[in-house]
C-alpha cells in the first residue's frame, strides 16, 4: 500500500582484498514494491532462489491482490484453517489493535475496497450511506482464533494485513539470512528495514545508516533525506500519506484509513518513522500513529519504552518535526 519511504545509505564496495569481505546485493519485487538485501560475505548463487521462495510463500499467504492467497480464501469463506505465518501475524495484529484502541485494525478490507484502494478498483469518494453499510463489519473484536481456525462473527468482516505483513516479511528474511550463516546485512522491503551487524563485519565497525525521506508535495516528488540515523539491531518502518492518494474537488484522500470512522485519516501528520524490536511491530505502529495523530501517539509512546518515533507534520503549510529521545540524541 505504501511506496518506499526510507532508503539506505550504503555503497557496494570492496572492503578488503579478501573475497569474504565483500558487500553483496540482491533486489527484486514483492508485495507490489521493491526489496533490497545487502549482505557481507561470499556471493551465494543459491541465495536468490531461497529469497524468492520465501517471499513467494509469504505473498501467497498475505496478498489481497492474489485471489488464490490464503487471506483471499479466508475472506471469501472457502478456508478457515490458517498457517503458522498467518496465525503469528494475526496475534500480533490483535495486540496492536488493542493497544491503539482500534486505530490499527486488520479488518479494514471492506473499507479498502469501498474507497477503491483494493483489487482492480479506482480510488473514489464514498457516500455516507455506503460508509454506514460497511463500517458495522470493521472491528477487530469480531475475529477470533481457535486452534489455528479463524472464526468471524459475520462473514462480511474481512481481513487485510497490508499494514503489518510487509514488516513481518522483513523479519522473516532477516531470520532466513541468519540461518544461512550471515551476521552482517540489511533487509529492506518497500521502506521497512532490519539491520544486523556492521558494514565491515567488525564488532566496532561502521554501522548501517538509514535515512528518513522528506515528504513530497506530489506522488512523484524527488526522494531526499532529512534525517540519518543508526538503528542498531532495532527494526525501522515508516508510514506516510503523500505517495498513495487521490484528489477530488481540491481535497486529498489518503490510502491510510481510520478504522474508527471509516474515512481516510485527516491528521496533520505527513509521515511517521517507528523503531521497534521487530519490523512487524514497527510497521503496525507506524500506520496506527498516522491515524491517531501526534498528541495521542506521544501519549502511547510514553507507556511503550521499547518504541521510538520520528514525526513529520504540517503546521500552517510548514514542515515541523517531533521525536522521542532516541532521535534527539
Contact 229, 254 (CB under 8 A): no
CA of residue 308 relative to chain centroid, distance: 15
Instruction: List, in sequence order, the alpha helices (H) in the chain.
Output: 47-62, 70-76, 84-99, 109-114, 128-135, 165-179, 279-292, 294-301, 325-328
Grid cell listed for 167: 514488516
The residue ranges of every structural domain in the chain are 6-57+167-328, 64-152
Q: Let me know if domain 64-152 sits in CATH 3.60.110.10.
A: no
Helix or strand run (H / E) with residue 71: helix 70-76
Q: 191: closest CA among 108, 313, 279?
A: 279
Contact 27, 230 (CB under 8 A): no
Contacts 24+ apart (CB under 8 A), 16-19: none
| Cα-based torsion angle of the residue sequence 287, 244, 113, 62 in order, rounded to the nearest 10 degrees | -60
Decide if 6-57+167-328 and 64-152 have a common fold: no
List, in sequence order, every residue forming a beta bridge with 245; answer none if it has no partner. 254
Q: HSE of 85 in the Cβ direction (CA atoms, 13 Å)?
A: 24
Grid cell listed for 191: 521502506
Angle between helices 279-292 and 165-179 (to 10 degrees): 160
Predicted local distance difference test score (pLDDT) of residue 246? 58
Q: 134: closest CA among 114, 163, 151, 106?
A: 114
pLDDT tens for the chain, 329 residues: list them. Answer: 444 344 443 333 333 334 456 899 999 998 888 999 999 998 899 999 999 999 999 999 999 999 999 999 999 998 889 999 999 999 999 999 999 999 999 999 999 999 888 876 777 778 888 888 899 999 999 999 998 999 999 999 999 999 999 999 999 999 999 999 999 999 999 889 999 999 999 988 999 999 988 775 555 554 566 789 999 999 999 998 665 555 665 666 678 899 999 988 888 999 999 999 999 999 999 999 999 999 999 999 999 999 999 999 988 888 899 999 999 88
pTM score = 0.89
- Superfamily for the 6-57+167-328 domain: ApbE-like domains (3.10.520.10)
Contacts of 256 (CB under 8 A, 6+ apart): 239, 241, 264, 265, 287, 290, 291
Amino acid at each position: 500500500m505504501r511506496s518506499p519511504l526510507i532508503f539506505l545509505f550504503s555503497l557496494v564496495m570492496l572492503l578488503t582484498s579478501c573475497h569474504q569481505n565483500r558487500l553483496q546485493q540482491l533486489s527484486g519485487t514483492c508485495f507490489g514494491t521493491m526489496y533490497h538485501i545487502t549482505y557481507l560475505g561470499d556471493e551465494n548463487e543459491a541465495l536468490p532462489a531461497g529469497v524468492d521462495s520465501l517471499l513467494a510463500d509469504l505473498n501467497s499467504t498475505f496478498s489481497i491482490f492474489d485471489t488464490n492467497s490464503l487471506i483471499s480464501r479466508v475472506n471469501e469463506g472457502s478456508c478457515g484453517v490458517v498457517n503458522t505465518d498467518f496465525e503469528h501475524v494475526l496475534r500480533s495484529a490483535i495486540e496492536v489493535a488493542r493497544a491503539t484502541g482500534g486505530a490499527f485494525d486488520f479488518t479494514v478490507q471492506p473499507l479498502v475496497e469501498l474507497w477503491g484502494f483494493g483489487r482492480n478498483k479506482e480510488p473514489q469518494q464514498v457516500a455516507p450511506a455506503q460508509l454506514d453499510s460497511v463500517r458495522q463489519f470493521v472491528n477487530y473484536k469480531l475475529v477470533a482464533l481457535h486452534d489455528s481456525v479463524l472464526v468471524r462473527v459475520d462473514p462480511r468482516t474481512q481481513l487485510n494485513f497490508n499494514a503489518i505483513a510487509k514488516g513481518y516479511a522483513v523479519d522473516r528474511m532477516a531470520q532466513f539470512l541468519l540461518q544461512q550463516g550471515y551476521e552482517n546485512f540489511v533487509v529492506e522491503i518497500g521502506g521497512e528495514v532490519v539491520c544486523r551487524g556492521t558494514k565491515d563485519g567488525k564488532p566496532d565497525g561502521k554501522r548501517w545508516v538509514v535515512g528518513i525521506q522528506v515528504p513530497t508535495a506530489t506522488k512523484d516528488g524527488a526522494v531526499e533525506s532529512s534525517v540519518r540515523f543508526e538503528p542498531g539491531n532495532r527494526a525501522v518502518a515508516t508510514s506516510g500519506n503523500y505517495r498513495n492518494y487521490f484528489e477530488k474537488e481540491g481535497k486529498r484522500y489518503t490510502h491510510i484509513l481510520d478504522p474508527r470512522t471509516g474515512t481516510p485519516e485527516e491528521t496533520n501528520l505527513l509521515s511517521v518513522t517507528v523503531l521497534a524490536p521487530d519490523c512487524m511491530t514497527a510497521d503496525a505502529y507506524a500506520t496506527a500513529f498516522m491515524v491517531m495523530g501526534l498528541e495521542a501517539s506521544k501519549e502511547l509512546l510514553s507507556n511503550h519504552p521499547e518504541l521510538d518515533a520520528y514525526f513529520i507534520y504540517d503546521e500552517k503549510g510548514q514542515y515541523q518535526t517531533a521525536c522521542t529521545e532516541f532521535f534527539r540524541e
